């Protein structure tokens, strides 16, 4: 009888105990995927074109005061540029949100122009995919993005000054 009461009390208290947050919540191990929209599909070449937002560093001229004189200098600013990128499905991998590999044929059947998909450089950590609808395809391209060349400062004109392009 006493054992049953203890067991009942234990069960009851389990239901009433406040939910404790995990001490060390799991953290994603890899880079996050990016959202892209498909712009064109070439079924013959199994090639998908999509729009990608790249961070580019652009030189700008800024007017600053030095020793009481206004001088023009070159500075750098990061901007978002949208560029078209392509992926050949046969050369790269396609996964679903469960982490299962999808064949190039199957991916071509499922993808349509205008669709939103995820792109990544390696298989995506499931922690990210918890908020993605099932059925979404993840295009994994192992080709690293090309390095961004360092932008050159503006060339000076005959007067020794950069062109008069100012910050908006």
Partner 1 sequence: MTSQIAILVVLSLGQPPIPTRPQPQFAVVRSFDKALGQATLLQIQAVSEVVPEKAIVNGQEVTRNVIRQVLRTVETQFSVEKGTVLDTAGKKVSAAEVSKRLKVGATVLVASQQPDPLYLRIVQPETLILITSPMPVPLPKLPPPKV
Residues near partner 1 (CB under 8 A)? 21-22, 25-28, 30-35, 37-40, 51, 53, 55, 57, 59, 71-78, 80, 82, 113-114, 116-118, 127-128, 130-133, 136, 145, 147-151, 153
Name the β-bridge partners of 73: 62
Can you tell me whether residue 11 is helix, strand or coil?
helix
- Give 6 or 63: the residue with its C-beta nearer to partner 1: 63
Shortest gap between Cβ of 86 and partner 1 (angstroms)? 14
Shortest gap between Cβ of 105 and partner 1 (angstroms)? 22
**From start to end of 67-115, where are the E strands?**
69-88, 93-95, 101-102
Query: Token pair of 88, please?
Result: 């050949």
CB 78 within 8 A of CB 56: yes
CB 132 within 8 A of CB 118: yes
Shortest gap between Cβ of 80 and partner 1 (angstroms)? 7
CB 89 within 8 A of CB 103: no
- Give 4 or 68: the residue with its C-beta nearer to partner 1: 68
Shortest gap between Cβ of 136 and partner 1 (angstroms)? 4
- Give 74 or 141: the residue with its C-beta nearer to partner 1: 74
């Amino acid at each position: 009888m006493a054992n049953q009461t203890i067991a009942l009390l234990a069960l009851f208290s389990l239901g009433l105990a406040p939910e404790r947050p995990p001490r060390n919540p799991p953290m994603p191990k890899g880079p996050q995927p990016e959202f892209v929209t498909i712009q064109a599909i070439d079924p013959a070449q199994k090639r998908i074109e999509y729009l990608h937002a790249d961070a580019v560093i652009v030189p700008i001229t800024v007017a600053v005061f030095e020793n009481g004189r206004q001088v023009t200098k070159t500075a750098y600013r990061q901007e978002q540029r949208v560029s078209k990128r392509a992926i050949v499905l046969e050369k790269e991998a396609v996964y679903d949100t469960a982490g299962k590999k999808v064949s190039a044929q199957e991916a071509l059947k499922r993808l349509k122009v205008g669709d939103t998909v995820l792109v990544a450089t390696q298989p995506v950590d499931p922690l990210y995919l918890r908020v993605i609808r099932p059925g979404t395809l993840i295009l994994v391209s192992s080709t690293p993005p090309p390095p961004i060349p360092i932008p050159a400062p503006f060339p000076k004109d005959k007067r020794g000054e950069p062109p008069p392009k100012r910050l908006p």
